[in-house]
Amino acid sequence: MHRRSIVWFALNAVLFACPLAAHAAPETADEIDACVRNNMPSKSSIQTVQLRTTNRVGDTSESIATIHWMMFDDDLSKVLLRFERPLDMRGAGVLLIEQKERRPDTFLYLPEIGQVRRVSSSAASNSLFGTDFSYEDFNRLVGMSGTASKERGPDGELDGRSAWILNVRPAPADESAYERVVMTIDKETCVVLRTESWEPGNQLRKVLTADPAEIVQQGSLWIPRSLTMRDERDETHTDVLVEDIKIDAKIKRKMFSARELEAGGH
């Protein structure tokens, strides 16, 4: 799959969309992919997001995080997720460094541990800071989905919107927890409205949805400011609200390193 993946939700990220006016409607899977992919910021973005996770019995926990994303000269991106609240999580963070033909290098920093640790492939399905996103889910969210095959399925409709359907199958090298991922993409805005992640045995595990009523235009981009990740097996969910986003913001390149991940957590 192209480096700028079809899955750019806003946590990575963040889903953007491109207007279709004056252009021929996408027909192939690659063209649909490109409509979403080309709509990413050209250089960088900074987002402030609120995450509210609800467990099976209805108890909730809330957190605030900032997501820095930057595209580098090699056409590979880097992402830094840093928590600001609650206080016991302040400084905790994850650094993603995109790689060619394999899953990104992932580094974790927890204040109570006081050092950076690499997240292994075997731990990629673990929960990201107690949310319903795994590390793999977050990778896909910010456009780092590794190598995968994709094909166009029959068109559909969601929430009254005509939509394309893309079926994505992770490559063996990605060591994915999922057998396939099914994406529903709004034809009018190219926003990914729904992403279903299926485990082996045809078991639906995760569903990520964007609220159509919360899709707003910022410049030439369409941005869903409200998303929900549901874990169908565990009966839990995490709501994500994008409180602020800056497109092509100035970011220091040096912040995307394991050393800075640790230093910024103090």
Please give the structure tokens belonging to residue 229.
Answer: 């990740």
Residue 1: what pLDDT?
47
Cis peptide before 86 (omega within 30 of 0): yes
Taken in order of first residue, the domains within the chain and their CATH numbers are 29-261 (2.50.20.10)
Residue 200: what pLDDT?
96
Sequential pLDDT tens for the chain (266 residues) = 444 443 344 444 343 334 444 457 888 998 998 888 777 777 899 999 999 999 999 999 999 999 999 999 888 999 999 999 999 999 999 999 998 878 889 999 999 998 999 999 889 999 999 999 999 999 988 878 667 889 999 999 998 999 999 999 998 888 899 999 999 999 988 889 999 999 999 999 999 999 999 998 888 888 899 999 999 999 999 999 999 999 999 999 999 999 999 987 66
Q: Residue 116: how many CB atoms within 10 A of its CB?
A: 19
pTM above 0.85, yes or no: yes
Residue 37 to residue 26: CA distance in whole angstroms: 13
Residue 11: what pLDDT?
42
Q: Residue 266: how many CB atoms within 10 A of its CB?
A: 8
Could you tell me which residues come within 8 angstroms of residue 104 by beta carbon, excluding any fewer than 6 positions away? 96, 97, 98, 139, 144, 146
